[in-house]
Structure 1
Amino acid sequence: MSLSATLCGPEYARRLDHPPSVQLHVAEGILREWGWQQQPHHLRNRRGARCVCGAICAAVALGVGSEHAAHRAAGHVLHVLRDRGWPHLIGDWNQQPGRTPQQAYGKPSKPESRRPAPGRSPTTTS
């Protein structure tokens, strides 16, 4: 389903504050349709491609959620990155050399190093 088809439903027009999951879903659609870019310190490039944060901001500009909900969505992204062992900001992750569009969409093409959950030991295979 295209991004415009997703946003045209009447439920989106009536509701200002969407949960972070909806904003992240729309942000993924923005990245897929408009493109993903890695240019440092730019939310979008001249062609309209967005970075991860730029896609979250674009979702708000399209009427999906509020700035407060966007902060919560970005907090969720940071939490996921922390769980995957990334200690820096979203923008630093986005512009990391070797990053792929699939990773930016939330579908990593290869597993990233993961820390074990607190209180759990890493599993080993023999």
Structure 2
Amino acid sequence: MLAAGSIVHTHHWARLSLSDPDDRYTAGKSMGLVPVSGEIHAEGVGFVDQTLFYKAVVTPDEVAWLAEVPEVAPFDAPGPAPRWWSVSLWWHGWTPGMKYFRTNGKWPCLFAYSRRKGVVYGVVEIE
């Protein structure tokens, strides 16, 4: 029960407020995504080479760019992922139609997208 409470608590604190200029800048600059829904959770891990984990509620148009990103085999959450992110990715991973992507464009990135649930997960390794 304590572990579940901790996951819910950290997930709540990871929510970005897009009305806050700093949070909106982080979403737009680091993640390249400011969802219309306004629902985005993000947490950075690491001090020198930070890895940013995020989950957002999106429309298909907002993630249409994923059509240009190579699909990969389903993946588990990377080791340093926040627990709320790992559990949520695992949970949505059971949804039929979940697709996984990887790119090394600007930065190394992993994505998982469920069109059915309208949720995208991202891992951005900021170098």
TM-score bracket for the superposition, by shorter chain length: under 0.3
Q: What TM-score, normalized by structure 1, do the two folds share?
A: 0.26
Report the structure, 1 or 2, having the larger helix content.
1
From the CA coordinates, give the structure whose radius of gyration is larger.
1
